[in-house]
Amino acid sequence: MSEDLIKGGEFLVRETKASEVFIPEEFDEEQQMIAQTCVDFLKAEVYPNLDRIDDMEEGLMPGLIEKAGELGLLGISVPEDLGGFGKDFVTSMLVAEKTGAGYSFSVAVSAHTGIGTLPILYYGTKEQREQYIPRLASGEWKAAYCLTEPGAGSDANSGKSKAKLTEDGKHYLINGQKMWITNGGFADVFIVFAKIDDDKKLSAFIVEKEFGGITLNPEEKKMGIKGSSTRQIFFNDTKVPIENLLSDRENGFKIALNILNIGRAKLATAVIGGAKETVSESIKYANERVQFGLPISKFGAIRYKLAEQAIRIYASESASYRVSRNIDDAIKSRLDSGMDKQEATLKGIEEFAAECAILKVAASEALDYVVDEGVQIFGGMGYSAESSVERAYRDSRINRIFEGTNEINRLLAIDYILKRALKGELDLMGPAMAVANELVSIPDFGEKDDSIFAEEKNAVKNFKKAILMVAGAAVQKLMNTLGKEEEILTNIADMAIDAYQAESVLLRVEKLLGTKDEKELKEQIALVKTFIYDASDRINKAGKDALSSFAEGDELTMMLMGIKRFTKMAPLNVKEQRQIIAQRIIEVNAYPF
């Protein structure tokens, strides 16, 4: 990667300028047209048929995928010579966001275009790509991804599915059981993970339904996403040509990890799309529902909910598109250095694995807040199956489990960053030592800054110092046992998640201030100030909890003083800030940002 580009995890130790980030307000005309195509498709094909979709009407979901394929929505990331549009990662994230408002349809289309198609696109041979990708991009064939097993969820490499070479050496016979397979009921192509003979690691295979030896259990009965086909799949001596081994033998686990990185990032924008739709439904109801002679949108308790919904969405969205451009830049840098397209794409995405994990956690938990408060705004009607928020509430819950549970993703985010530091790819120890020295020195108050975000800029810098202090002390104190201290790692992850979103939302509005004045952006300014003010308390609590778990005596006292110092902010009238945000939502009668 080019040295001037930010690297994965480097946000902790490097200051980013507003000019260096991509923000959603910068989508070009073509990207906006693609986004509108997605919105129009949902309005025409999905929303009128939600009950039919949830009832799993025969052929309906596969037909919707085919219609999306006819519009090109399945091939956004696919090269033009393979039947796609060949667009960048940012554009593919935008499409994920817009289709993410499609309830169960969004799950089916995400599984098809993501974990179903991308393993072949990025790891397949030229012949494999030419054979499968055009049919997948058009929707002629539908794809599913078979990794999870009854005894192997988060620990995917412990799967028991086996592949054995036939005596003539021309086929593999696959035997095993897979569960929770999205699109399983109608998929034509399966990406199947199994161990060849006594291998320690998984291999991956492209398996066509027509190969035979495949049986399906009935559709699973689920809490939500009821329209998404979810089956257990059994492979019984399924005969797979040796040409359908995907990538190298024992490379399956790496394929699974890298494809899941992409899935985490795209899930983040997909749930943002769903969250925006819920806010729009919430405010329409709040403006229409009259109690005590007034629309309930006039009441402060409801306005708080509307504003907080918007704050969490805006922060997650800002972080998601920031990473999207970072990934695109990392891919381009590798292409410029002579790396081929497939490897450059995979390496570019892998570079930001920690950020992808952060996004997945932040956005899925933001959606859960949004839909929960959506039901509360609707009151009794929100609990009725006749309301849209009831479906949104049920459908949202899976997102904290999809693409690795949020518990696993919190641990992964910190693990990725620490491993990069151990490999010498990221200098954490230097900045951590600097923070440790700062704790015992006289504070440098610097020159007085009267700019609009002076308090917030200083806060973001200090949030990073708080993380470096806690993480540095934990590494030094616990050393090789830190990996087992999941509560402490979770505390550090929560600090990093808040700090990354805080910086992202600040940079987004800073960039907007370069083209608009403060009056035009008063709501966005309120979003920034409120998020960062609240984040300071959350980071303070997580930091104290972590430190109290491993430090004691004078050392603990000193670091607790450091946490207090690094999370201190001037008082902010958050009621006033939220009123500004809510008033805009009420006036527009939809999510407006």
Active site residues: 403
Cβ 146 vs Cβ 192: under 8 Å: yes
DSSP SS3 for 308: helix
Backbone φ and ψ for 453, nearest 5 degrees, come out as -110, 25
In 470-509, at which residue ranges do the beta strands (DSSP E only) sit? Answer: none
Amino acid sitting at position 380: G
The tokens describing 21, both together, are 């980030």
* H or E stretch at 489: helix 486-512
Neighbours of 528 (CB within 10 A): 25
Angle at 379 between CA 378 and CA 380, to 5 degrees: 115
Rounded distance between C-alpha atoms, residue 387 and residue 374, angstroms: 10
Task: Find tokens 């054979």 and name the residue.
Answer: 131
The tokens describing 108, both together, are 């089916």
Rounded distance between C-alpha atoms, residue 451 and residue 532, angstroms: 16
The tokens describing 138, both together, are 């058009």
State the burial class of residue 430 (Cβ atoms within 10 Å of its Cβ: 0-12, 13-18, 19+).
exposed
The tokens describing 104, both together, are 């169960």
Name, in order, each residue with C-beta under 8 angstroms of 154's C-beta and a sequence gap of 6 or more: 404, 405, 408
Q: How many residues does the chain have?
A: 593
Rounded distance between C-alpha atoms, residue 194 and residue 470, angstroms: 40
Amino acid sitting at position 220: E
In 131-213, at which residue ranges do the beta strands (DSSP E only) sit? Answer: 143-146, 162-165, 171-182, 189-196, 203-208
Cβ 116 vs Cβ 189: under 8 Å: yes
For the chain, give me the number of helices (H) and strands (E)? Answer: 19, 10
CA-based nearest residue to 581, from 512, 530, 519, 507: 530
Please compute, for residue 413, the number of CA atoms within 13 A of its CA located in the half-sphere on the CB side.
31
Please compute, for residue 169, the number of CA atoms within 13 A of its CA located in the half-sphere on the CB side.
0
Rounded distance between C-alpha atoms, residue 480 and residue 50, angstroms: 51
Cβ 370 vs Cβ 433: under 8 Å: no
Rounded distance between C-alpha atoms, residue 357 and residue 411, angstroms: 9
Name, in order, each residue with C-beta under 8 angstroms of 318's C-beta and a sequence gap of 6 or more: 23, 24, 501, 504, 505, 507, 508
Cβ 270 vs Cβ 96: under 8 Å: yes
CA-based nearest residue to 503, from 460, 566, 462, 545: 460
Distance of CA 569 to the CA centre of its chain: 29
